[in-house]
Chains A and B, each alone.
Chain A
Amino acid sequence: MAYKRNIDRLPIIPAGAKEHNVTCHYCIVGCGYKAYTWPLKKQGTTDSNWMGEDLSKQQGAETEAWYAPSMYNVVKQNGADVHLVIKPDVNCQVNSGLGSIRGARMAENRRSDVTGSQKQRLTDPMVWRYGTWQPTSWDDALDLVARVTARVIDKDNENDLYVSMFDHGGSAGGYENTWGTGKLYFESMKVKHCRIHNRPAYMSEVHSSRDMGVDELNYNYADYEVTDTIFLVGTNPMECQTNLFLNHMVKGMQNGAKVVISDPRRTVTVDSCEQVAGAENVLHLPITTGSDVALHNTLFTYIADQGWVDADFIAKSTFQGDVAVAADSAYPASLGSFEAARVACKMSLADGAAATGLTEAQLIQAAEWIAKPKEDGSRRKCVTGYEKGIIWGNDNYRAIGSLLNIGLATGNVGREGGGVCRLGGHQEGYYRPSDAHVGRPAPYIDQLIIAGGGKVHHIWANDHFKTTLNASEFKRVYNRRSNMVKEAMDARAGATREEMVDAIVGAINAGGLFVVDVDIIHSQIGQAAHVILPAVESGEMNLTSMNGERRLRLTEKYMDAPGSAKPDCMIAAGIAQALERVLREEGRTEYADQFKGYDWASEEDSFMDGYNKGNPEVTYERLRAMGNDGVLEPVTGFADGKLVGTNRLYEDGVFKRHGREDGKALFCMGEWRGWQAAGKAQQQANHRFLINNGRANMNWQNWFLDQGNEFVMDRFPVPFIQINPDDMADLGIKAGDMVEVHNDMGATQALAYPEPTAKRNETFMVFGAPNGAQGNIVNPGVNELILPDYKHTWANIRKISDATPASAAVSYKSWEVEL
């Protein structure tokens, strides 16, 4: 039976309940919500309540006067239990009152002593003692972190300290926390060996866009509503940017926009577009996986040959000449003028069709919908959204560059109804000192760790065990190296701090790794940690982020942190202060001085120390006043009591993201060259199934919490793999059977879900699951600039067992709506 809460009434929000601005902290869209809190022993009534609405009556569709049980909880606020309702804000431009299956469960996914939700949240620092993790004070835990860390770092020599740190907004990221960690590792120190939460090095996901002069978030969401064509590439917004799709793309289609979708699989997005726009206005290009560069170059060639380009824009805003930047190890393709790119990228319809598996007719139709002037001769507006299908796909640099070529050639950057943008994962919230010392290409951290690199590892909300490639080997090595330290610590149980630090340093000098894990839950990589430091999320602290259209908002703190957990910026400050003290004690005065400047009383101080210094108009008070609509970055001023933002980037046709003084955008001169990352072709040749992978509506961006959420775990007790029913029959697999997916790299498990629209021998597995890591079977080969190609993995599939009772109980019906 499906999971049911058996809640048949909820406390009513009383008039006068406290109201807080909340931006959903799960995905990039950043929907506006309101959090209401009120004392536990008070309640509204059907005739006296926050809405002033008569609640004795059934309310209609889309009412503001209803909330689901998932939007309710009981939490602590200033030490007292309070009721909490977090419901979508009907007045926020982003979502207009829509919630999603993720965001509308924010309240339920808060930690509560009263309702028992999210008991997995960490509440106190823990240190490895007596063979397990023992709770302790911040002072004690930070002292150990500082003393061990101080033994492996020195002025201008910090290469034995490895750092994995998130770079995103929302969640537990945001400007406060990226600054706190950034100041520690990039200003007080110059740590070179670092990586980001979802990839094995510290680098941009969209190098080529930036090198061409174009920031990857350049439009605003309303551009989807006024465009002629929506071009979606390797992205599935109905599931992964839900309310961007529902509240903006749908409006665009209702206003007559056509949709072109490039994706090897038929996603829910394709079906939803057909429902809204009519199948005749939706063109799905089910390309051969990895052939994106061929598709984009063919479209670019055809569009240019037809003359469907914006010659004025090209002349005024793009580089004139031949090559502006020559290809080398830091630039995987040359960059230059439109004409130079036409030569380099030239691809005929016939060659394009052969490489992509599409027909020439499909290619022509796509080009027409994207670029052919309208009947009255006016320019066609086209907005392009792309995401992990090409970011984590084949030949990242050229795939994104060749796509942006089309947008630039047709003048669709910086114009209403245009834009070529990442759709995004988390929100953004990056404010750090320069990372130039890291280098480009950046060090491939996860492979260095496997090779024995690093002595101390500080981890900030990264879980390599779930989100790295070559994960099987990584876990084996990581467990062995961290265990060496655990054993050394166990052997010296009862020793003084000084003796214990000596024992730890002895173990790391013998190849061990000392691990400090900062997170909100006890993660999988956290099982290897020696010190665990509890952090908080948005809402448990004040937190600023921007969404996929650069919309900056402040989420107001509406509840207490679990136990003694702290914002990451305050933890970073604590580490800096402990390091300063230890270094001074050791007489390393000059180095100690580098760790001054962290006397922050709250996250707001971190915000003022970082973001505000670069953006002096922006303060908490002003952001609070801007509410859930916030302001679009960059903020350019403050007038009439309001922050003034930037509706759309590049409206002036001047491109500076690459740092060029001339302000001219560059085109990418990257020809199609097949598989770019090492080992892909060979793995493909040796295994039957493509294990395409990605995210699912229900739990993407919040799976770490949802592993403790019954509604979610009831639907998918094990991560699913969608397989064509004929392939299942071949292998003797029934719906719900547990299968092992195995190849030369390792193995993982999944629940078989029949998917009639899947191509034969092409499966889709959900990525990043706590209990079935797809990364186990991804080979270590990366694109240039260490961009992982998770999407291209081949494996064989075998049945492990019949469906378990939990798996047998769930629905295996099609995800496509039948109206």
Chain B
Amino acid sequence: MKCNRLVDVGRRQFLRGGVLGVAGAAAATVMPAGQAQAQTARAMLDYPSTKLANLADLKVNEPMDIGYPDAESPGILLKLGTAVEGGAGPDGDIVAYTVLCPHKGFYMSYHAADKTLNCPGHFSRFDCEKGGQQVWGHATQNLPQFALRVDDKGDIYAEGADELIYGRLSNVLQG
């Protein structure tokens, strides 16, 4: 339910005209990996729906390594322990982020004491409780966060990202 907010933000950007419209319209061959032969071009990127874990696998404040939208794109899945805006799951506290720093792509580490992701490259840091907001740093975007859906069985799926992931000009790699 709370994930819808992300969609809303995307729609607002889209309706403002802007970059997404241009990029989308121009990218006629953009489709998820392995479907490059598909004929239908869509305005928005199709993200895979990828099962990351089950609620039962998560321990509070202990991040689990994930790869999304594919194995080449490392991230973490994290149960924060307190509900946050944009948090998924029954407690509204589950979030997932890339761990590639959007500055120059270094791998970041999680600091449990204040729930931030920290970059060894040039010391940027991002707040996992505030949608990946850059607390201080050099990146020109906040941290890409993955949209999550939790089904009846407690399986957690990632289904999208809200910023461009470092090192790829399309979040879903194109062939």
**Least Cβ–Cβ distance between A56 and chain B, in angstroms:** 5
**Least Cβ–Cβ distance between B36 and chain A, in angstroms:** 9
Q: What per-residue 1/0 map shows which CB atoms of A110-122 lie under 8 Å from chain B?
A: 0000111000000
Q: Are A4 and B102 in contact (CB under 8 A)?
A: no
Q: List 8 additional A-B contacts (Cβ < 8 Å) besides A4-B162, A11-B23.
A: A8-B171, A60-B167, A61-B105, A61-B106, A66-B168, A98-B138, A101-B134, A101-B139
Is A817 in contact with chain B by the CB < 8 A criterion? yes
Segment of A68-76, A552-560, A794-802 in the binding face = A68-76
From A9, A62, A814, A817, B170 is in contact (CB under 8 Å) with: A9
Is B133 in contact with chain A by the CB < 8 A criterion? yes
- CA–CA, A577 and B102, complex, Å: 50
From A43, A56, A71, A238, B175 is in contact (CB under 8 Å) with: A56
From B10, B145, B175, A46 is in contact (CB under 8 Å) with: B175
From B6, B13, B26, B172, A43 is in contact (CB under 8 Å) with: B26
Is B90 in contact with chain A by the CB < 8 A criterion? no
Q: Are A61 and B116 in contact (CB under 8 A)?
A: no
- Tell me the number of A-to-B contacts counted with CB atoms below 8 Å: 216
Is B30 in contact with chain A by the CB < 8 A criterion? yes
- Which residues of B in the span 81-121 have a Cβ within 8 Å of any Cβ on A? 85-86, 100, 102-107, 109, 111, 113-114, 116, 118-121
Closest B residue by C-beta to A69: B164
Residues in B neighbouring A100, C-beta threshold 8 A: 138
Q: Are B111 and A61 in contact (CB under 8 A)?
A: no
Closest A residue by C-beta to B16: A116
Q: Are B105 and A272 in contact (CB under 8 A)?
A: no
Closest B residue by C-beta to A117: B18
**Least Cβ–Cβ distance between B85 and chain A, in angstroms:** 5
Is A711 in contact with chain B by the CB < 8 A criterion? yes
Is B49 in contact with chain A by the CB < 8 A criterion? no
From B85, B102, B164, A10 is in contact (CB under 8 Å) with: B164
Q: Are A711 and B140 in contact (CB under 8 A)?
A: yes
Is A57 in contact with chain B by the CB < 8 A criterion? yes
Is B127 in contact with chain A by the CB < 8 A criterion? yes
Q: Are A1 and B23 in contact (CB under 8 A)?
A: no
- CA–CA, A105 and B138, complex, Å: 11
- Which residues of A in the span 1-51 have a Cβ within 8 Å of any Cβ on B? 1-12, 40-41, 43, 45-46
Residues in B neighbouring A449, C-beta threshold 8 A: none
Is B51 in contact with chain A by the CB < 8 A criterion? no
Closest B residue by C-beta to A811: B127
**Least Cβ–Cβ distance between B11 and chain A, in angstroms:** 8
Residues in A neighbouring B105, C-beta threshold 8 A: 59-63, 66
**Least Cβ–Cβ distance between A768 and chain B, in angstroms:** 19
Q: Are A813 and B127 in contact (CB under 8 A)?
A: yes
Residues in A neighbouring B111, C-beta threshold 8 A: 818-819
Q: Are B130 and A2 in contact (CB under 8 A)?
A: yes
A/B interface sample: 12 pairs, CB < 8 A: A1-B131, A2-B133, A4-B131, A4-B142, A6-B6, A6-B9, A55-B168, A66-B166, A66-B169, A68-B141, A69-B141, A115-B17
Residues in B neighbouring A8, C-beta threshold 8 A: 44-45, 47, 160-164, 170-172
Closest A residue by C-beta to B175: A56
Q: What per-residue 1/0 map shows which CB atoms of B34-57 lie under 8 Å from chain A?
A: 000000000011010000000000
- State whether A9 and B136 are in contact (beta carbons under 8 Å apart), knowing that A68-B141, A74-B22 are contacts in the complex: no
Q: Are A1 and B85 in contact (CB under 8 A)?
A: yes
Residues in B neighbouring A104, C-beta threshold 8 A: 138, 140
From B139, B164, B167, B172, A63 is in contact (CB under 8 Å) with: B167
Q: Are A98 and B104 in contact (CB under 8 A)?
A: yes
Q: Are A68 and B140 in contact (CB under 8 A)?
A: yes
Q: Are B137 and A101 in contact (CB under 8 A)?
A: yes
Closest B residue by C-beta to A72: B19
Residues in B neighbouring A56, C-beta threshold 8 A: 173-175
From A98, A115, A271, A711, B18 is in contact (CB under 8 Å) with: A115
- Which residues of A in the span 430-457 have a Cβ within 8 Å of any Cβ on B? none
Residues in A neighbouring B45, C-beta threshold 8 A: 8-9
Q: What per-residue 1/0 map shows which CB atoms of B149-171 lie under 8 Å from chain A?
A: 00000000000111110111111
Is A525 in contact with chain B by the CB < 8 A criterion? no
Residues in A neighbouring B85, C-beta threshold 8 A: 1, 809
- State whether A814 and B164 are in contact (beta carbons under 8 Å apart), knowing that A4-B9, A56-B175, A116-B18 are contacts in the complex: no
Residues in A neighbouring B9, C-beta threshold 8 A: 1, 4, 6
Is A67 in contact with chain B by the CB < 8 A criterion? yes
Q: Are B23 and A62 in contact (CB under 8 A)?
A: no
**Least Cβ–Cβ distance between B140 and chain A, in angstroms:** 4
Residues in A neighbouring B127, C-beta threshold 8 A: 2, 811, 813
Q: Are B166 and A817 in contact (CB under 8 A)?
A: no
A-B complex: 5 closest residue pairs judged by Cβ atoms: A2-B133, A6-B10, A2-B131, A70-B140, A9-B170
Residues in B neighbouring A814, C-beta threshold 8 A: 114, 135
- CA–CA, A411 and B141, complex, Å: 45
- Which residues of A in the span 226-268 have a Cβ within 8 Å of any Cβ on B? 238, 242, 246, 268
**Least Cβ–Cβ distance between B133 and chain A, in angstroms:** 4
Is B59 in contact with chain A by the CB < 8 A criterion? no
**Chain B interface main SS type:** loop
User: What is the interface size of chain B, counting residues whose CB is below 8 A from a CB of the partner?
Assistant: 78
Q: Are B118 and A817 in contact (CB under 8 A)?
A: yes
From B106, B131, B167, B169, A12 is in contact (CB under 8 Å) with: B169
From B5, B24, B103, B169, A1 is in contact (CB under 8 Å) with: B5
- CA–CA, A46 and B173, complex, Å: 9
Is B27 in contact with chain A by the CB < 8 A criterion? yes
Is A630 in contact with chain B by the CB < 8 A criterion? no
Is A364 in contact with chain B by the CB < 8 A criterion? no
Q: Are B104 and A61 in contact (CB under 8 A)?
A: yes
- State whether A7 and B130 are in contact (beta carbons under 8 Å apart), knowing that A68-B102, A115-B18, A814-B135 are contacts in the complex: no
Is B20 in contact with chain A by the CB < 8 A criterion? yes
**Least Cβ–Cβ distance between B110 and chain A, in angstroms:** 9
Is A564 in contact with chain B by the CB < 8 A criterion? no
- CA–CA, A670 and B17, complex, Å: 61
Q: Are B138 and A4 in contact (CB under 8 A)?
A: no
Q: Are A114 and B14 in contact (CB under 8 A)?
A: no
From A9, A101, A818, B113 is in contact (CB under 8 Å) with: A818
- State whether A73 and B19 are in contact (beta carbons under 8 Å apart), knowing that A4-B131, A46-B174, A817-B123 are contacts in the complex: yes
**Least Cβ–Cβ distance between A817 and chain B, in angstroms:** 4
Q: Are B19 and A115 in contact (CB under 8 A)?
A: yes
Residues in B neighbouring A365, C-beta threshold 8 A: none
- CA–CA, A62 and B107, complex, Å: 11
- State whether A811 and B17 are in contact (beta carbons under 8 Å apart), knowing that A59-B105, A69-B163 are contacts in the complex: no
Closest B residue by C-beta to A238: B123
Closest A residue by C-beta to B136: A815
Q: Are B169 and A711 in contact (CB under 8 A)?
A: no
**Least Cβ–Cβ distance between B71 and chain A, in angstroms:** 9
Is A803 in contact with chain B by the CB < 8 A criterion? no
Residues in B neighbouring A59, C-beta threshold 8 A: 105, 167-168
- Which residues of A in the span 359-414 have a Cβ within 8 Å of any Cβ on B? none
Residues in B neighbouring A715, C-beta threshold 8 A: 133-134
Closest B residue by C-beta to A102: B140
- CA–CA, A100 and B102, complex, Å: 11
- CA–CA, A70 and B138, complex, Å: 12
Is B63 in contact with chain A by the CB < 8 A criterion? no
Residues in A neighbouring B145, C-beta threshold 8 A: 4
Q: Are B104 and A114 in contact (CB under 8 A)?
A: no
Closest A residue by C-beta to B143: A2
Closest A residue by C-beta to B117: A818
